[in-house]
Amino acid sequence: MKTKVICFANNKGGSGKTTSCSNVGCAMAMLGKKVLLIDGDMQLNLTISYFDEEQALSFATDGRNIHSVVKEEGDVASAIVQTGIEGLDLVPSSSLMSGIEFDLFPKWQREFVLTKCLERVREKGKYDYILIDAPPTLGGWVMNILVASDFVVIPVEASPWGLFGLANMFDFIRQAKRLSPATELLGIAVTKADERKKYFKQTFETLKTLDNARLFENYIRVDSAVEWSQDQSRPVVIFKKTSRSAVEYMNLTKEIMSYVDR
Ligand SMILES: Nc1ncnc2c1ncn2[C@@H]1O[C@H](COP(=O)(O)OP(=O)(O)O)[C@@H](O)[C@H]1O
Ligand SMILES: [Mg+2]
Protein backbone atom coordinates (compact mmCIF):
# COMPACT_ATOMS: atom_id res chain seq x y z
CA MET A 1 0.00 0.00 0.00
CA LYS A 2 1.18 3.51 -0.80
CA THR A 3 2.15 5.77 2.10
CA LYS A 4 -0.57 8.34 2.67
CA VAL A 5 0.19 11.76 4.08
CA ILE A 6 -2.50 13.39 6.20
CA CYS A 7 -2.13 16.80 7.82
CA PHE A 8 -4.10 18.38 10.65
CA ALA A 9 -4.46 22.06 9.89
CA ASN A 10 -6.50 25.06 11.00
CA ASN A 11 -5.27 28.61 11.33
CA LYS A 12 -7.18 28.88 14.56
CA GLY A 13 -5.12 27.93 17.62
CA GLY A 14 -6.52 25.64 20.29
CA SER A 15 -8.80 23.82 17.85
CA GLY A 16 -7.43 20.38 18.71
CA LYS A 17 -4.93 19.90 15.87
CA THR A 18 -2.13 18.50 17.99
CA THR A 19 -4.38 16.38 20.21
CA SER A 20 -6.08 14.93 17.12
CA CYS A 21 -2.85 14.33 15.21
CA SER A 22 -1.31 12.57 18.19
CA ASN A 23 -4.33 10.42 19.04
CA VAL A 24 -5.33 9.51 15.49
CA GLY A 25 -1.71 8.55 14.79
CA CYS A 26 -1.44 6.47 17.94
CA ALA A 27 -4.81 4.83 17.29
CA MET A 28 -3.67 3.89 13.77
CA ALA A 29 -0.54 2.30 15.25
CA MET A 30 -2.69 0.42 17.79
CA LEU A 31 -4.72 -0.88 14.85
CA GLY A 32 -1.53 -2.40 13.45
CA LYS A 33 -0.44 0.34 11.05
CA LYS A 34 3.02 1.87 10.71
CA VAL A 35 2.80 5.59 11.40
CA LEU A 36 5.18 8.53 11.28
CA LEU A 37 4.16 11.72 13.08
CA ILE A 38 5.75 15.04 12.11
CA ASP A 39 5.64 17.96 14.52
CA GLY A 40 5.40 21.05 12.33
CA ASP A 41 4.83 23.59 15.11
CA MET A 42 7.50 25.57 16.96
CA GLN A 43 5.47 25.10 20.16
CA LEU A 44 6.65 21.46 20.19
CA ASN A 45 3.30 20.24 21.52
CA LEU A 46 3.32 17.06 19.45
CA THR A 47 6.90 16.35 20.53
CA ILE A 48 6.05 16.80 24.22
CA SER A 49 3.04 14.54 23.69
CA TYR A 50 5.65 11.75 23.72
CA PHE A 51 8.76 13.12 25.43
CA ASP A 52 9.57 15.14 28.52
CA GLU A 53 10.77 18.68 28.08
CA GLU A 54 14.45 17.89 28.45
CA GLN A 55 14.35 15.19 25.77
CA ALA A 56 12.26 17.40 23.52
CA LEU A 57 14.80 20.20 23.75
CA SER A 58 17.69 17.81 23.08
CA PHE A 59 16.26 17.05 19.62
CA ALA A 60 16.63 20.72 18.80
CA THR A 61 20.40 20.53 19.30
CA ASP A 62 21.15 17.07 17.86
CA GLY A 63 19.55 17.85 14.49
CA ARG A 64 16.71 15.34 14.84
CA ASN A 65 13.95 17.83 14.07
CA ILE A 66 11.92 18.98 11.10
CA HIS A 67 13.56 22.40 11.04
CA SER A 68 17.03 20.97 10.36
CA VAL A 69 15.63 18.70 7.65
CA VAL A 70 13.79 21.47 5.83
CA LYS A 71 16.58 24.01 6.17
CA GLU A 72 19.10 21.57 4.71
CA GLU A 73 16.57 20.14 2.25
CA GLY A 74 17.56 16.71 3.54
CA ASP A 75 15.83 13.37 3.97
CA VAL A 76 13.32 13.29 6.81
CA ALA A 77 14.59 9.77 7.70
CA SER A 78 17.62 11.35 9.39
CA ALA A 79 15.37 13.01 11.99
CA ILE A 80 13.10 10.11 12.98
CA VAL A 81 12.95 9.14 16.66
CA GLN A 82 11.09 6.25 18.28
CA THR A 83 8.17 7.06 20.56
CA GLY A 84 8.32 3.81 22.52
CA ILE A 85 4.91 2.88 21.11
CA GLU A 86 4.94 -0.02 18.65
CA GLY A 87 4.54 1.17 15.07
CA LEU A 88 4.69 4.85 15.95
CA ASP A 89 7.68 7.09 15.12
CA LEU A 90 8.08 10.85 15.32
CA VAL A 91 10.00 13.69 13.73
CA PRO A 92 10.30 16.32 16.49
CA SER A 93 10.06 20.06 16.08
CA SER A 94 12.43 22.76 17.26
CA SER A 95 12.00 26.30 18.51
CA LEU A 96 14.04 27.36 15.46
CA MET A 97 10.86 26.69 13.47
CA SER A 98 10.08 30.31 14.37
CA GLY A 99 12.41 31.28 11.50
CA ILE A 100 11.09 28.77 8.96
CA GLU A 101 9.47 31.40 6.71
CA PHE A 102 12.86 33.12 6.27
CA ASP A 103 14.60 29.79 5.73
CA LEU A 104 12.13 28.79 3.03
CA PHE A 105 11.98 32.12 1.24
CA PRO A 106 15.19 31.95 -0.87
CA LYS A 107 14.73 28.30 -1.80
CA TRP A 108 14.02 27.08 -5.30
CA GLN A 109 10.41 25.85 -5.61
CA ARG A 110 9.90 26.87 -2.00
CA GLU A 111 6.39 25.43 -1.69
CA PHE A 112 7.72 21.95 -2.50
CA VAL A 113 10.61 21.68 -0.02
CA LEU A 114 8.78 19.44 2.45
CA THR A 115 7.39 17.30 -0.38
CA LYS A 116 10.97 16.59 -1.46
CA CYS A 117 12.12 15.90 2.11
CA LEU A 118 9.41 13.21 2.38
CA GLU A 119 10.02 11.66 -1.05
CA ARG A 120 12.49 8.92 -0.02
CA VAL A 121 10.54 7.82 3.03
CA ARG A 122 7.37 7.65 0.93
CA GLU A 123 9.10 5.65 -1.80
CA LYS A 124 10.39 3.11 0.71
CA GLY A 125 6.82 2.52 1.84
CA LYS A 126 7.81 1.68 5.41
CA TYR A 127 4.94 3.74 6.78
CA ASP A 128 1.26 3.32 6.03
CA TYR A 129 0.58 6.88 7.14
CA ILE A 130 2.51 10.07 7.72
CA LEU A 131 0.60 12.53 9.91
CA ILE A 132 1.68 16.17 10.07
CA ASP A 133 0.69 18.57 12.84
CA ALA A 134 0.48 22.10 11.39
CA PRO A 135 0.98 25.36 13.31
CA PRO A 136 -1.91 27.86 13.63
CA THR A 137 -0.74 30.02 10.72
CA LEU A 138 -1.33 30.40 6.99
CA GLY A 139 2.03 31.04 5.38
CA GLY A 140 4.73 29.42 3.29
CA TRP A 141 5.37 26.64 5.79
CA VAL A 142 1.73 25.57 6.10
CA MET A 143 1.55 25.79 2.29
CA ASN A 144 4.47 23.31 2.23
CA ILE A 145 2.53 21.03 4.59
CA LEU A 146 -0.66 21.17 2.50
CA VAL A 147 1.22 20.62 -0.76
CA ALA A 148 3.02 17.59 0.73
CA SER A 149 -0.27 16.08 1.97
CA ASP A 150 -2.70 13.75 0.21
CA PHE A 151 -5.41 14.62 2.73
CA VAL A 152 -6.24 17.55 5.01
CA VAL A 153 -8.21 17.17 8.22
CA ILE A 154 -9.48 20.38 9.82
CA PRO A 155 -10.10 20.05 13.55
CA VAL A 156 -12.68 22.60 14.65
CA GLU A 157 -13.60 23.52 18.19
CA ALA A 158 -17.36 23.57 18.72
CA SER A 159 -17.37 27.13 20.05
CA PRO A 160 -18.63 30.50 18.79
CA TRP A 161 -15.17 31.44 17.56
CA GLY A 162 -14.36 27.95 16.31
CA LEU A 163 -15.99 28.58 12.93
CA PHE A 164 -14.61 32.05 12.54
CA GLY A 165 -11.85 32.05 9.96
CA LEU A 166 -12.80 28.69 8.49
CA ALA A 167 -13.42 30.39 5.13
CA ASN A 168 -9.77 31.53 5.11
CA MET A 169 -8.72 27.94 5.65
CA PHE A 170 -10.86 26.77 2.71
CA ASP A 171 -9.34 29.50 0.53
CA PHE A 172 -5.85 28.49 1.53
CA ILE A 173 -6.55 24.85 0.67
CA ARG A 174 -7.85 25.97 -2.73
CA GLN A 175 -4.54 27.78 -3.30
CA ALA A 176 -2.63 24.66 -2.26
CA LYS A 177 -4.64 22.60 -4.76
CA ARG A 178 -3.36 24.81 -7.57
CA LEU A 179 0.19 23.74 -6.71
CA SER A 180 -0.76 20.19 -5.77
CA PRO A 181 -4.02 19.07 -7.38
CA ALA A 182 -3.86 15.74 -5.51
CA THR A 183 -4.28 17.44 -2.12
CA GLU A 184 -7.78 16.65 -0.92
CA LEU A 185 -9.77 18.20 1.93
CA LEU A 186 -10.81 15.04 3.76
CA GLY A 187 -13.11 16.60 6.31
CA ILE A 188 -13.82 18.54 9.46
CA ALA A 189 -13.44 16.92 12.87
CA VAL A 190 -15.29 18.57 15.74
CA THR A 191 -13.31 18.58 18.98
CA LYS A 192 -13.90 19.71 22.56
CA ALA A 193 -17.62 19.31 22.09
CA ASP A 194 -19.95 19.95 25.02
CA GLU A 195 -23.25 18.27 24.25
CA ARG A 196 -24.99 20.01 27.15
CA LYS A 197 -24.60 23.30 25.34
CA LYS A 198 -27.20 24.26 22.81
CA TYR A 199 -24.43 26.02 20.97
CA PHE A 200 -22.71 22.74 20.20
CA LYS A 201 -25.75 21.36 18.37
CA GLN A 202 -26.10 24.54 16.37
CA THR A 203 -22.42 24.47 15.37
CA PHE A 204 -22.60 20.81 14.43
CA GLU A 205 -25.69 21.36 12.27
CA THR A 206 -24.07 24.37 10.57
CA LEU A 207 -20.97 22.35 9.76
CA LYS A 208 -23.10 19.52 8.37
CA THR A 209 -24.61 21.83 5.77
CA LEU A 210 -21.26 22.99 4.32
CA ASP A 211 -21.11 21.73 0.76
CA ASN A 212 -17.35 22.06 0.31
CA ALA A 213 -16.33 19.82 3.20
CA ARG A 214 -17.41 16.58 4.81
CA LEU A 215 -18.15 16.61 8.53
CA PHE A 216 -16.92 13.47 10.26
CA GLU A 217 -19.73 11.69 12.11
CA ASN A 218 -17.50 10.93 15.06
CA TYR A 219 -16.71 13.97 17.15
CA ILE A 220 -14.64 14.35 20.30
CA ARG A 221 -16.20 15.62 23.51
CA VAL A 222 -14.51 17.60 26.25
CA ASP A 223 -12.73 15.14 28.52
CA SER A 224 -10.27 15.84 31.32
CA ALA A 225 -8.55 12.51 30.49
CA VAL A 226 -7.06 14.33 27.47
CA GLU A 227 -5.22 16.76 29.72
CA TRP A 228 -4.15 14.08 32.22
CA SER A 229 -2.70 12.01 29.41
CA GLN A 230 -0.84 15.01 27.96
CA ASP A 231 0.63 15.67 31.39
CA GLN A 232 2.05 12.13 31.24
CA SER A 233 3.39 12.54 27.67
CA ARG A 234 1.09 9.82 26.37
CA PRO A 235 -1.89 10.04 23.97
CA VAL A 236 -5.21 9.38 25.69
CA VAL A 237 -5.98 6.46 23.34
CA ILE A 238 -3.19 4.50 25.01
CA PHE A 239 -3.02 6.23 28.42
CA LYS A 240 -6.65 5.59 29.33
CA LYS A 241 -8.19 3.32 26.73
CA THR A 242 -11.60 3.23 28.39
CA SER A 243 -12.01 7.00 28.67
CA ARG A 244 -14.67 8.71 26.62
CA SER A 245 -12.19 10.61 24.46
CA ALA A 246 -10.09 7.49 23.84
CA VAL A 247 -13.12 5.63 22.51
CA GLU A 248 -14.15 8.65 20.43
CA TYR A 249 -10.67 9.09 18.95
CA MET A 250 -10.55 5.39 18.11
CA ASN A 251 -13.87 5.70 16.26
CA LEU A 252 -12.80 8.90 14.48
CA THR A 253 -9.59 7.14 13.40
CA LYS A 254 -11.55 4.25 11.89
CA GLU A 255 -13.79 6.73 10.08
CA ILE A 256 -10.76 8.61 8.70
CA MET A 257 -9.11 5.36 7.61
CA SER A 258 -12.29 4.25 5.85
CA TYR A 259 -12.08 7.29 3.57
CA VAL A 260 -8.32 7.35 3.13
CA ASP A 261 -7.95 3.66 2.29
CA ARG A 262 -10.79 3.22 -0.11
N1 LIG B 1 -11.28 16.59 23.99
C2 LIG B 1 -10.65 17.45 24.79
N3 LIG B 1 -11.05 17.62 26.07
C4 LIG B 1 -10.42 18.49 26.89
N5 LIG B 1 -9.38 19.25 26.51
C6 LIG B 1 -8.92 19.14 25.25
C7 LIG B 1 -9.52 18.23 24.32
N8 LIG B 1 -8.86 18.35 23.15
C9 LIG B 1 -7.90 19.27 23.34
N10 LIG B 1 -7.92 19.75 24.59
C11 LIG B 1 -7.06 20.79 25.16
O12 LIG B 1 -7.26 21.98 24.42
C13 LIG B 1 -6.03 22.64 24.21
C14 LIG B 1 -5.81 22.87 22.72
O15 LIG B 1 -5.69 21.63 22.06
P16 LIG B 1 -4.55 21.40 20.96
O17 LIG B 1 -4.68 20.02 20.47
O18 LIG B 1 -3.22 21.81 21.52
O19 LIG B 1 -5.00 22.44 19.84
P20 LIG B 1 -4.14 23.11 18.65
O21 LIG B 1 -3.02 22.17 18.33
O22 LIG B 1 -5.10 23.28 17.54
O23 LIG B 1 -3.63 24.43 19.17
C24 LIG B 1 -4.96 21.81 24.86
O25 LIG B 1 -4.66 22.38 26.11
C26 LIG B 1 -5.58 20.45 25.03
O27 LIG B 1 -5.12 19.81 26.19
MG1 LIG C 1 -0.98 22.52 18.19
Q: Which residue segments constitute the domains of the chain, with CATH numbers given? A: 4-260 (3.40.50.300)
Each of the 262 residues of the chain gets a pLDDT tens digit; together they read: 799 999 999 999 999 999 999 999 999 999 999 999 999 999 999 999 999 999 999 999 999 999 999 999 999 999 999 999 999 999 999 999 999 999 999 999 999 999 999 999 999 999 999 999 999 999 999 999 999 999 999 999 987 777 888 999 999 999 999 999 999 999 999 999 998 888 888 889 989 999 889 999 999 999 999 999 999 999 999 999 999 999 999 999 999 999 999 8
For residue 224, what are the contacts with CB-CB under 8 A and spacing of at least 6? none
- Nearest CA to 157 among 17, 8, 6, 7? 17
Read off the pTM: 0.98
Q: How many CA atoms lie within 13 A of 145 on its CB side?
A: 32
List the residue whose alpha carbon is closest to atom 16 of ligand 1: 16
Question: pLDDT tens, 100-111?
Answer: 999 999 999 999
pLDDT of residue 158: 83
Q: Ligand nearest 10 Cα, by number? A: 1
List the residue whose alpha carbon is closest to atom 14 of ligand 1: 14
Check if 67 has its Cβ closer than 6 Å to any atom of ligand 1: no
Distance, CA of 257 to CA of 259 (rounded, Å): 5
